[in-house]
Chains A and B, each alone.
Chain A
């Protein structure tokens, strides 16, 4: 623990001044614009087959079309709903289980070998089986997404319980805390940052599994948009689908970072 300092000029580890948020925004706009311009020049020069690589204008046009006919919103909504459902199930299962395993050696001893065997199996490998068991509809996809998000949340939650500092437990006991107070005010609080990080990693995993599941079997969603475009040689729609997946993933991660920042205000000086 080091005392916090309230220096105004923030510097990196080598002592160089960090960029302000305006400068950083400027650089971000410049780099993205640069890539778009390069892409535009590259395609309009006719060096590549336009069917294989559409121009940015074409992708933009297909964005406008799909916004107008409502299909984009439908796909985004379908994907978002799935990922959130799967994530919520994972959270509801992994956090209590991680707490139980963190608190009880018996529970841990029973479940750990099983989980260690399951853990190396990539969720994507379970998609065919899930389709057989739970059908081709929503349920199989949501469950596979939940499965993907489950392990990062569980493992981080368990790790959090190992981080409880004995001196905090002693301090609480000397202030009159009983076991349930210590659990609520020390153990859970100590593990909480880890649970939050686990949730964010789990969300990233949920997103990967979502797209894979949609590519394999679905009738809506951004993954479907991409695989459907393949059959119609609509690379512009594939690019649109990929860009939307990128944006959605970025937004979800940002949202969770913001939740993390608010819940863990005490961590940053």
Chain B
């Protein structure tokens, strides 16, 4: 089979199989995610969404098949793939500013430029006044904003988000969804966003990957071309919601 994925920008997943011990968690996943696309991985709990995201991040490795990012085989984590975790994963011993500066600092950016970077991204997530705070002085929503700023500040080409708003209350959640869309439009990074909420996927994604469990596999890929800004009460939102809901329920 000729390998024509070698130079394509974006993420190419080919026939991915992943086991935990003898347990087959993912089977036959093949998926192309284009550059600057916003993709949601949607499916019931336990269908392997986190596992797939972790494989793209390079935290775990498939049993068979492969993942290529911009034509390069994934062999471990890298700064070109930023990750936002459900449990925020901020470094509690660093201030907000130090957290955001951590990626660029490792990349060797000098002191003055570091401040400019963290100022820019904290401004982007509306937390400029919290630079000197420690994470445990912030609310859940604020922490996740910092985590997004931290991931973006390392200038990744791809942002991987694992149910980042799952632990937040509904109102905070919606406002962070709005912010994420605004950030995505401003920064144009590829986003792979894991959720088990149909509404969240319909609001955020251009492409919705519907997954099913046991073993985890792709059931449907649904394009969502609804224009932005999207409203959570529009007809197009509801019709897309129904379509995704049917794909999830489809028992065949």
Using CB atoms and an 8 Å cutoff, list the residues of chain A in contact with chain B.
1, 3-4, 165, 167-168, 170-177, 181, 185-186, 189, 192, 265-267, 269
Contacts and interface: CB of A to CB of B under 8 A. Distances in A.
Q: Chain B at the A interface: mostly helix, strand, loop or mixed?
A: loop
B76 A168 contact: no
Interface stretch (B11-19, B87-95, B192-200, B207-215): B87-95
B140 A3 contact: yes
A193 to B, nearest CB: 9
A171 B85 contact: yes
18 contacts: A3-B139, A4-B137, A165-B89, A167-B87, A170-B77, A171-B85, A172-B102, A173-B58, A173-B77, A174-B79, A174-B83, A176-B107, A177-B106, A192-B93, A266-B94, A267-B92, A267-B136, A269-B137
Contacts of A173: 58-59, 76-77
Contacts of B151: 174-175
A175 B137 contact: no
A192 B106 CA distance: 21
A198 to B, nearest CB: 17
B134 interface: yes
A139 to B, nearest CB: 38
Nearest to A3: B139
Contacts of B137: 4, 269
Instruction: Give the top 8 A-B pairs by smallest Cβ distance, nearest first.
Output: A176-B79, A175-B103, A173-B77, A171-B89, A174-B83, A266-B134, A167-B89, A3-B139
A174 to B, nearest CB: 4
Interface in B104-154: 106-107, 134-140, 150-151, 154
A1 B140 CA distance: 9
Interface of B: 57-59, 76-79, 81-83, 85, 87-95, 102-103, 106-107, 134-140, 150-151, 154
Contact of B91 (A171, A176, A265, A269): A171
A1 B136 contact: yes
Contact of A189 (B57, B89, B93, B136): B93
A169 to B, nearest CB: 9
Given A167-B85, A171-B91, A3 B138 contact: yes
A174 B136 contact: no
A111 B47 CA distance: 44
Contacts of B136: 1, 4, 266-267, 269
A168 B83 CA distance: 11
Nearest to A166: B59
A170 B93 contact: no
Given A1-B136, A266-B134, A267-B136, A175 B92 contact: no
B91 A185 contact: yes
Nearest to B83: A174
Given A3-B139, A174-B57, 14 more contacts: A165-B89, A167-B89, A171-B85, A171-B91, A172-B102, A173-B76, A174-B77, A174-B78, A174-B82, A175-B102, A176-B79, A265-B134, A266-B94, A269-B136
A181 B106 CA distance: 8
Contacts of A170: 57, 59, 77, 83, 85, 89
Given A167-B87, A171-B85, A185 B76 contact: no
Contacts of B79: 174-176
Contacts of B138: 3-4
B157 to A, nearest CB: 13
A22 B54 CA distance: 54
Contacts of A192: 93
Contacts of B81: 174
B196 to A, nearest CB: 19
A4 B139 CA distance: 7
A266 B83 contact: no
A267 B91 CA distance: 11
